[in-house]
Structure 1
């Protein structure tokens, strides 16, 4: 297995370009259409892999993405809710439920009832653990209110194995759920899991290989020819971007995390767990969830339209190809679905240079702090009257009951009047909005807000910025681009299904990420009811393949 880990890591970290220049393999004879359920389900989430990024590079892929493009292709998948962040997005992929039902309305929210001084709660933490805060936390699945597909499979068929591996804890937890056989994530230094878990050999091999890799300096990665047009410098926050090639010094943990090598390591560990646990060879269908997080770290720290993201797309394509080839060599019958937790768009400064002059950073006077200062001064009350996280604004816990309606009305009026704000909805307005049943691209802002509203944790007021206004007030090294808006550049992601023998097709009309779980359930004949998503028929010529989900 060490050879496999080395091969996958080197696919992203070697300085030689020979692998990219290798001749294409001779096409194999078409495989017969599958007639039985797959033995292994492989669910891949590429963090921040927008539909726009997929479209930009789909004609450049030669590795794993090329295989996926031969299956069922849905280029307009939607994370249909307004809160397009990592935790809410991952919570939809394998639950079949929108954040309104998963309870994961954001990466962070405010809970003024928690005992600790820090009232911000991270989506994948247990905030009741003494001595913690939302940045120094104990990872937990307690906030996920619904089961994942793996849990449903294990409940109905106990012999099912459920495994989740990711570059982020929230990706691993939200896709894996509450009943997992193995769950591992990169914690900033190594691969970790819940306290008390025995480290499997495959994970330890991955830990050792990654530690050795990080201990060495990394030479610049080769620049594919089609990336040369993006090789243009741009200076943001005193740093030059756009021409990076992932060279890093020995011991640079953050550099490793925001590089193609970190995705390769996650796939290597996933492959090792498949091999060691003999996933796909048991009495029931097994499932492994893989969260590839590097694209998000690269996007946030380096943007999406420089050489950095172009190299990442090329390297991820090759890593996927190596991973799939490894599974093929083991003779596994597996079905793959690849999607993303949200989209994104490029850094404001480069967008302004490239025909997007309306791009702008959010102004300081649009902040919760600024609006709170206005309200407390106008009403002559001691603040704060408002607290907040992300776009959710909460009335302060100690605000007298007689003042709460007035403060809320003032906050809504003042936020709505700001030139960069598209809408400000109260909790009552959102709660009164019926769940949308129309195609997601047609939803109003209020309908998008409703899809990620949960009365137990959502704010008293939700503030949504206008298109092309980024929530970054002042860019800084490591944070020059982001996402989280209700607009389609953050909502649209690809959804790609593949299985050997599947008749490929492309459906350009909109679907949703909540459709993935019921679709996979149908593939293995698992009855599921009451989900927000619907089953997508991946083989129209085989009769009603979605009957089990109705």
Structure 2
């Protein structure tokens, strides 16, 4: 038993040795077959394009630079919808459909009829395998109203495999679609698991991976800066008062698991806000490629790997921070090793590699203010109280505004009707009250969102985020550099402003996509139709993007 455990631990630690020696030799350019055998989508959660280009001189030769130096990349790729959050972005990538069609309007929202909370991948009919399942846990793609590229592939080729892997349930489930398989990190146990929607029991290779307890290998491991101190002059130093100090602290070097006696739920959760969770996720992805024989079974397969740590780090410290800067450099080295693994395992000419992000990021308001920008935090509780006070003064009814839901304000239509109020009057008054609040740029009504006006700023973007069966009646856009905030520090995303919409869209694949920068503005909704064309598949039925017609 001890021998077996040591053998499994050795295998897991070998898989975790992802950072290989840097080489200036370009990746192999073997002759490509007619269609790629494997489509690989890498998603960096919360990565604005400005960070990729801003630190380009510090990148390894074969991580992000593989795309920038040897691939095809779009320097002006944006999301077209306005509420730019993790679930919405992950739903767009492989469906080509905006949230107005997919129904994934946010990470969570409130049912507009009952007011009850809804999680984007929540489904009480299913549970996690061998792991606790909390209420609203992400367990299935039931709320996704459209098909993904993987669904198209498996409809035509049932023997093909579509696998989604992520540190977050939504980052795995939404790209995997209805007919794929999702594996997600369990922050309570440090394992990777799936749900009963996909299978009755985990495959043996997944059991073996978890049995070695690979997350525990990072207990008490130090996250230290990758480069000398002088190279971080373009980012904001550690320990700023607006940087969240809980978790692993807000200074490097940081010890993950510091002041803990043994690995446990708090350690496994803290691992996510460090480079080590990405390393662990990529180790699991390597195990999936090997054990599922992806791209090597005579049929096309799809692998989606969404790396979550950059989002956690940017939320805590801001994208302008040295911690975010350094994390990007660590991530870059992990990607380099993963790409070189794919070259060896699948063959450089046999797969197409794509990298994007689910959203960008806003600088922390306190930092932005120090730089002379008008910035601030729109806080939910006081804002809701102010709107309800204004409505009560006008109509004599308390709590006509139910709650904030995703990017909007949810009004209680039932209460308005019971009190004999015309809902259009309540809606108009609530809009007026919202526009009085600091930081509010625009508020759109249901009538505007269902209309055809394409000239009013931000309206079309918010329309693409609006599903009338799920969204609040009033949709809010904050001013540039303002954020919706539930805590006094850190930063977030979620706006139609360019710092939140502008993300990488990078391709690499000898013989499939060619090389060079493309400066025309494109949208991430174009990704699914483009990959479909390269793979020889029809685009997903509800796709709103276009084929970018990439040629070698």
Question: What TM-score bracket applies, with the shorter chain setting the length?
Answer: 0.7 to 0.9
Instruction: Please tell me whether the aligned partners of residues 345 and 483 of structure 1 are also in contact (alpha carbons under 8 angstroms).
Output: yes
Aligned residue for 1:145? 145
Question: What is the distance in 2 between the residues matched to 1:10 and 1:352?
Answer: 41
Q: Deviations over 1:285-339 (max 9, x none)?
A: 1001111000001111122222311221111111111111111112431111110
1:496 aligns with 2:506: yes
Deviation, 1:490, is: 0.4
Between 233-242 and 512-521, report the one with greater CA deviation.
233-242
Residue 506 of structure 1 pairs with residue 517 of structure 2:
yes
Q: 2:321 aligns with which of 306, 318, 323?
A: 306
Mapping for residues 19-418 of structure 1, pairs under 5 Å? 22=21, 24-27=23-26, 30-32=29-31, 34-62=32-60, 63-69=62-68, 70-113=70-113, 119-126=116-123, 136-137=136-137, 139-180=139-180, 182-189=181-188, 190-195=191-196, 197-207=200-210, 208-214=212-218, 216-225=219-228, 227-229=231-233, 230=235, 231-236=237-242, 239=245, 243-249=251-257, 250=260, 251=263, 252-332=267-347, 333-353=350-370, 355-362=371-378, 367-401=383-417, 402-403=420-421, 404-418=423-437
Deviation at 1:101, TM superposition (A): 0.7
Indicate if the aligned counterparts of 1:242 and 1:305 stay in contact, CA closer than 8 A: no
Asked if 1:428 is matched to 2:447, the reply is yes
**Whole-Å Cα distance in 2 between the matches of residues 120 and 158 of structure 1?**
35
Structure 1 segment 473-488 matched on structure 2, within 5 A: 474-476=487-489, 480-488=490-498
Indicate the larger mover: 243-252 or 103-112: 243-252
Partners of 1:463 and 1:469 lie apart in 2 by 12
Write the distance in 1 (CA, Å) between the matches of 2:66 and 2:282. Answer: 17
Q: Distance in 2 between matches of 1:10 and 1:170?
A: 27
Q: Which runs of 5+ in 1 are unaligned?
A: 13-18, 437-441, 542-550
The question of whether the paired residues in 2 share the 8 Å contact of 1:245 and 1:311 is answered with: no
The number of residue pairs the alignment matches comes to 515
Deviation at 1:278, TM superposition (A): 0.7
Q: In 1, Cα distance between the equivalents of 2:380 and 2:105?
A: 24
Task: Describe the superposition over 1:493-541 as per-residue Cα deviations: whole angstroms up to 9, x where unpaired.
Answer: 01001113452111012111111111111111112355201011221x6
Mapped contact 2:185–2:192 kept (Cα < 8 A): yes
**TM-score (normalised: structure 2):** 0.86
* Partners of 1:361 and 1:474 within 8 A in 2: no
- Residue 266 of structure 1, CA deviation: 1.1
Does the alignment pair 1:463 with 2:462?
Answer: no
Distance in 2, Cα, partners of 1:481 & 1:8: 33
Task: State the Cα distance separating 1:475 from its structure 2 match.
Answer: 1.6
Q: Which residue of the partner structure matches residue 4 of structure 2?
A: none
| Counterpart residue number, 2:13 | 6
In 2, are the aligned partners of 1:172 and 1:291 still within 8 Å (CA)? yes
| Change in CA separation of 1:179 and 1:27 when aligned onto 2, cut-off 3 Å | closer
Structure 1 partner of 2:526: 515
> TM-score, with normalisation over the residues of structure 1?
0.87
Give distance in 2, aligned partners of 1:512 and 1:43. Answer: 16
Residue 3 of structure 2 is matched in structure 1 by none
Q: Distance in 2 between matches of 1:518 and 1:145?
A: 18
Equivalents in 1 of 2:544, 2:271: separation in Å? 37
Q: CA deviation at 1:133?
A: 11
Shift in alpha-carbon separation, 1:217–1:50, aligned structure 2, 3 A: same
Q: Quick check: 2:92–2:524 contact (8 Å CA) kept in 1?
A: yes
> What RMSD, in angstroms, separates the aligned Cα atoms of the two structures?
2.7
Change (3 A) 1:237 1:342: closer
Name the counterpart of 1:15.
Answer: none
Structure 2: 5+ residue stretches without partners: 1-7
Residue 247 of structure 1 aligns to a residue whose secondary structure is strand
